[in-house]
Amino acid sequence: MQLTEIRQSPYWHDQIGAPPPLAADLPAKVDVLIVGSGYTGLSAALVTARAGRSTLVVDAEDPGFGCSTRNGGQISTSVKPSLEKLTEKFGAGRAQGIRAEGSNALKWIGDFVAAEGLDCDFRRVGRFHAAHTPQHYETLVRDAEKMRRQEGIESFAVPRSEQRAQLGTDTYFGGVVFSAHCSLHPGKFHRELLRLALDAGALVVGHCRVTHIARQGSGFRVETAKGSVEARDVIVATNGYTTALTPWLQRRVIPIGSYIIATEELPESTIDTLFPGDRIASDTCKVVYYYRASPDRRRVLFGGRVSASETTALAGATRIRQDMCRIFPELEGVALSHAWSGTVAYSFDELAHTGVYDGVHYAMGYCGSGVSMAPYLGMRAGQKVLGLAEGVTAFDGLPFPTRPLYRGKPWFLPAAVSWYRWNDQRQFERALRMG
């Protein structure tokens, strides 16, 4: 594989063309200033701008620079901890509320795309979640059945003997199909959100890093690379790119790199073999892989976490390609066209968080599952700024945990990733050896 021929930018960027013209200068004063122009920020802006509030969205880079144009475009119910775990921690009512927000976000994005007529290759394709050992298959099926009974989450089990009808591989030991999960084109979805926010009257300004947020009277003075702005309300939507601008938030989110590759265009028959039902896919490894066919069904897009420490997209590509070929041996010898990465935000309790700290609204910590949750909580943050009751979610008021000595640099990550990856590989290989 010629590494130098691989484009080190998201495959999605190639299909969205130049962005619309954006304002270069900042107004002196706005009702709402939003830091970060990904799904969270733009969705919040859409709500406040449509309600007639003067709204400014600023981004340190080009709008959409962050995860929102880099992700895999897979949409699930987005809440990682189980109902049982959440019940132990928060009690049954709150736990059900939190889990329900995942389904709410999944339903909301489908309704939103349809109602706004968004051109973003949105499809309800379902997910095949594959088991990397027979024991994981049993647990997966049991857990899915519980989720169906207790939460109404649709799914069906697929034994290994029938796996190829869902995914063209014999590497796994069966899996579960979550029929309501969806896919979209992340770049197009972001571009459509940008269009809606601009049409609603929001100003969006790129290359305008916010450097300081200070209280002033009943509002805020916000210093940026392009000057200062007075704002009545501020929403921070910086997720995995959160910095010391907001130290309280920085201490609560864990930035983690995620890496993706795209193959060159493949024959239709290869994609039909690997992704017969166009399902999105992931597996039960602790360091999870996620993959799918591109919306035009010409390429495989394969993502995951490849190394203990952060690395470059190109270095990551070599490792991730090996993992892809282990699952799909027919891709051995296929060239890659793109390799890229982005930084997701984990939280210490694996939950998204939204609320108000020191007068500033925030929504972040999507733990790698933000394609529906980020715009959904962005919308809710916008509604809270407007003082609307529907803005309040089951995430509001939850403790947002940090750890002693943690200041936003996850020194513990390389050891944890190494251990989990080693353990995943060991389990995987042992299960395959035993047949």
- Work out how close the CB of 95 gets to ligand FAD at its nearest, in angstroms, rounded to a whole number: 21
Q: Give the whole-angstrom CA distance, residue 258 versus residue 58.
A: 24
Residue pointed to by tokens 């035009």: 296
- What residues numbered 252-281 form the site for ligand FAD, per CB under 6 A? 258, 260
Closer of 44 and 141 to ligand FAD (Cβ):
44
Candidates 11, 39, 172, 346; binder of ligand FAD (CB under 6 A) is 39
Closer of 141 and 336 to ligand FAD (Cβ):
336
Q: CA nearest 397: which of 87, 78, 98, 105?
A: 98
Q: CA nearest 132: which of 250, 294, 287?
A: 287
**Residue 74 interacting with ligand FAD (CB under 6 A):** yes
Candidates 26, 38, 187, 327; binder of ligand FAD (CB under 6 A) is 38
Q: CA nearest 8: which of 240, 252, 336, 432?
A: 336
Q: CA nearest 300: which of 280, 316, 286, 284?
A: 280
- What residues numbered 284-343 form the site for ligand FAD, per CB under 6 A? 290, 303, 341-342
Q: Give the whole-angstrom CA distance, residue 41 versus residue 64.
A: 10
- Work out how close the CB of 217 gets to ligand FAD at its nearest, in angstroms, rounded to a whole number: 23
Candidates 61, 154, 170, 358; binder of ligand FAD (CB under 6 A) is 61
Which residue type, as a one-letter code, is found at position 325?
A: C
Q: Please state, in angstroms and as integers, the Cα–Cα distance from residue 323 to each residue in 124, 137, 274, 286, following that order.
A: 27, 20, 15, 14
**Residue 48 interacting with ligand FAD (CB under 6 A):** no
Contact region for ligand FAD (CB under 6 A) — 23-31, 169-177, 323-331, 367-375?
367-375
CA atoms within 13 A on the CB side of 137: 17
Q: How many CB atoms neighbour CB 80 within 10 A?
A: 19
Q: Give the whole-angstrom CA distance, residue 103 versus residue 281.
A: 19
Q: Give the whole-angstrom CA distance, residue 392 versus residue 83.
A: 20
Binding mask 140-169 for ligand FAD (x = CB under 6 A): ------------------------------
Query: How many residues interact with ligand FAD (rule CB under 6 A)?
Result: 44
Closer of 145 and 223 to ligand FAD (Cβ):
223
Residues at the interface with ligand FAD (CB under 6 A): 35-41, 58-61, 65-68, 70-75, 209-210, 237-241, 243, 245, 258, 260, 290, 303, 341-342, 344, 364, 366, 368-371, 374
